[in-house]
Chain A
Amino acid sequence: MTAQNAAPFPCLLPFGVDSIVVRFAWTASDTATRAVQNFQRAITAAALPGVVETATALASVIISFDRGVTTRAVVCDQVQQILDSTDWTRTQPPPAQRIWHIPVAFGGDYGPQLDQVAQMISRTPDQAIAEITDTDLRVLSIGFAPGQPYIGLLDPHWNIPRQTELTPQVPAGALVVAVRQLVLFTNPSVTGWRQVGYCGFRPFLADRADPFALKLGDVLKFHAVSHSDMTTITASDDAGLGGARCESVSAA
């Protein structure tokens, strides 16, 4: 067929005794994230016997199985067949099922590194904010901490490295940026990512009726609000929604 067959990706790799990883790339890219999202949906839809869990990272998918029901060899065969059934890198982004509208306060105390980030991407702070609020951003992965979204991808000029010096602590709600991605912290955390904004929205609250607000593939629309509006939003917010609302999109 094509020379792509000789490429090392996608590759299927055993991971411990009860999981495999399908890696589409070492680094995040639009192609890899689309492939990952669509492939994971296909694996889920296939409902393979004994597969107990699948989840997406930025450029790879994990598939875990119950060794009492199936074997690594069987799962690898089944997954390889699905992998070979199409060129996943050429698929379109999956249709969004939910759109979250999330208020963000950018800059100042709420985003102390906005100016620095804007400089790094050769934009004014207002342009940087506009690019974040206007980009079609999605939850690409949930992880590190419970319910914590990796959001992306921003355009290639946002491929700024993590800081070498860590920020000792950003608050829960911090919106941070690095390597074309945003992360919305669920807990106070040390980080090498740069904080550009702050949300009252908490993707994870253990005591909330639905502790995990976000799902993989959710579209996130950030709306810039003034610092005084953010103060008002967070003052009267028991559910940790921070003024966010979720819009369901009926399947086409």
Chain B
Amino acid sequence: MTHQLIIDRAGPAVTLQDLGRPHRLAQGLSNGGAADRLALFEATAILGATGPLPAIEMAGFGGVFRTTVPMRFALTGATMAASIDDTALTWNRSYTLEPGQTLTLGAVIRGSYGYLTPASPILSDPWQHSQSTHLLAGIGQPIATGQAFELGPDPDAKRPDHKITPSDRFGGGFIRIVTGPQTELFDSQTLTRFLNTRFERSPQANRQGVRLDGADPFVANIPAGLASEFIQTGDIQMTGQGVPYVLLAECQTIGGYPRIATVIPADIPKMAQAPIGSYVEFDVIPLDQADQACPADAQILQSLRCQVSPCLRNPHDIPNLLGYQLISGMIAGTEFDEDPDDTVN
């Protein structure tokens, strides 16, 4: 019997993403992977998975999904209209989709990128150790209506549903940046104006980068014949017209446009998630502060694991309450405690 996730309908910018392919600059390949990596770690913590799982990333609009086996899944990242059959779902928690049910994820409500992560790992042929689609590099394709993925076994199928309160990163706001190797191409007046500008997140955005509107052009003093230099995710590049673009997961690896600063890794999720029309402002911080503000992936995940809690079902939401055996010798009363150690006196 095959275990499948069936995509009955997919929005226009739905892709399979994991953490991408790091350290391939020498091959001209940028990291790629989830636009909001934090959403993948949140899903990992919610599902109690040993490590990040491949997720369906949905920019702006979700899709309609069915499964052939009971499938635990987490919804993280940008909040989208969500339901299983006629029952509305809340975001940032796990559910189980049963065979015969339909999971519908609609338009984004807050943020830009929503994530559907099955606890039964989506199986697809990895390319260079990652299942991520990298559209700019021509690796993989957007997920299409009618497509189906094989699912691996859920190692923790009996785990109760969990939830998390995500860090608030879905409405734009202040984004922390550090100066970089090309900041000196901009005079101090231009840099000051950049830091004093309230930008509007443009509708022109994709996994490669997001355009910022609302300011006069920022012109650099470019040496004639400036050689292309390395780019990293978070770099704020000025186009030939002096329009800022913040480069995201699928950025090119080198380029000739001048870059004024770099968004720190910890604030990339906030930048990627800033919804169309939201306001964004930049705060420059010293490098040592950036180092402190950007923990390693393992630390981020460890911290999120401590933040998840079981979803206690509201009796009003249980249709056949009287059908449940509410008192049982198997229940010790501590199963749902957030931190079992606290119960020891």
Contacts and interface: CB of A to CB of B under 8 A. Distances in A.
Interface of A: 13-17, 19, 21, 23, 25-28, 32, 52-60, 62, 64, 67-68, 72, 141-148, 150, 159, 161, 179, 187, 204, 206, 211-212, 216
B326 interface: no
B275 interface: no
Interface string B202-237: 000000000000000000000111111110101000
Contacts of B227: 25-28, 32, 57-60
B29 A14 contact: no
List 6 tightest A-B contacts by C-beta distance, closest first. A143-B254, A58-B227, A55-B26, A143-B253, A26-B223, A13-B181
A206 B287 contact: no
B205 to A, nearest CB: 18
Contact of B27 (A17, A27, A52, A142): A142
A62 B30 CA distance: 14
Given A57-B227, A159-B225, A206-B138, A143 B287 contact: no
B187 interface: no
B27 A57 contact: no
Contacts of B127: 206
B107 interface: no
B225 A15 contact: no
Contact of A17 (B223, B229, B265): B265
B274 interface: no
Contact of B225 (A27, A53, A57, A216): A27
B225 A28 contact: yes
Interface residues of B, number: 40
Interface string B161-199: 000000000000000001011000000000000000000
Contacts of B252: 143-145
Contact of B230 (A17, A60, A67): A60
Contact of A23 (B28, B181, B298): B181
Contacts of B287: 14, 17, 72
A86 to B, nearest CB: 22
A67 B287 CA distance: 13
Given A59-B227, A144-B252, A19 B27 contact: no
Contact of B254 (A14, A23, A57, A179): A57
A62 B223 CA distance: 20
A141 B265 contact: no
A58 B285 CA distance: 30
A143 B24 CA distance: 10
A59 B181 CA distance: 13
A161 B240 CA distance: 14
Given A64-B25, A145-B137, A16 B262 contact: yes
A17 B290 contact: yes
B23 A144 contact: no
A57 B296 CA distance: 27
Contact of A143 (B28, B180, B234, B296): B28
22 contacts: A14-B178, A15-B181, A16-B180, A16-B265, A17-B265, A17-B287, A21-B229, A21-B230, A27-B223, A27-B227, A32-B227, A57-B254, A72-B291, A142-B28, A143-B252, A143-B253, A143-B254, A144-B253, A144-B254, A146-B29, A206-B127, A212-B28
